[in-house]
Amino acid sequence: MNWTDEDIIEKIKDKKTVDYGFNLLMEKYQEKVYWVIRRMVIDHESSDDIAQETFVKVWKNLDKFKGESKLYTWIYRIATNEALTHLRKKKRRFFLPIGDVENELVSTLEADTYYSGDEIQLKLQKAILTLPEKQRLVFNIKYFEELKFREIAEVLEVTVGSLKAQYHHAVKKIEKYLKED
Same domain, 40 and 88: yes
Last residue of a domain, one of 93, 115, 137: 115
CA distances from 109 to 30, 122, 125 (A): 22, 8, 8
User: Are 78 and 58 in contact, with CB atoms under 8 Å apart?
Assistant: yes
CATH number reported for the structural domain that contains residue 89 in this entry? 1.10.1740.10
What is the average pLDDT across 11-23?
92
| Same structural domain, 111 and 129 | no
State which amino acid sits at residue 114.
Y
Statement to judge: residues 85 and 156 lie in one domain: no
CB 152 within 8 A of CB 140: no
> 41 and 8: one domain?
yes
pLDDT tens per residue across span 94-137: 554 544 545 555 555 555 545 455 567 777 778 888 888 889 88
Residues 97 and 172 in one domain: no
Task: Determine the structural domain holding residue 107 and report its residue range.
Answer: 1-115
CB contact at 8 A, 17 and 63: no
From 98, 115, 132, the end of a domain falls on 115
Do 11 and 70 lie in a common domain? yes
- pLDDT recorded at residue 101: 47
Q: How confident is the model at residue 18 (pLDDT cuts 50, 70, 90)?
A: very high
Per residue in 85-105, pLDDT tens?
Answer: 888 787 665 554 544 545 555
Tell me which of 115, 135, 154 is where a domain ends.
115
Using CA atoms, how far apart are residues 6 and 142, in angstroms rounded to an integer? 25
User: In terms of domains, do 103 and 128 share one?
Assistant: no
Render pLDDT for 165-176 as a digit per residue (tens, 0 to 9). Answer: 999 999 999 999
| Distance between start and end Cα atoms, the chain | 47
Same domain, 135 and 89: no
Residues 59 and 94 in one domain: yes
Confidence of residue 30 (pLDDT cuts 50, 70, 90): very high
CA angle 133, 179, 114 (to 5 degrees): 55
Whether residues 2 and 42 fall in one domain = yes
Q: How many domains does the chain have?
A: 2
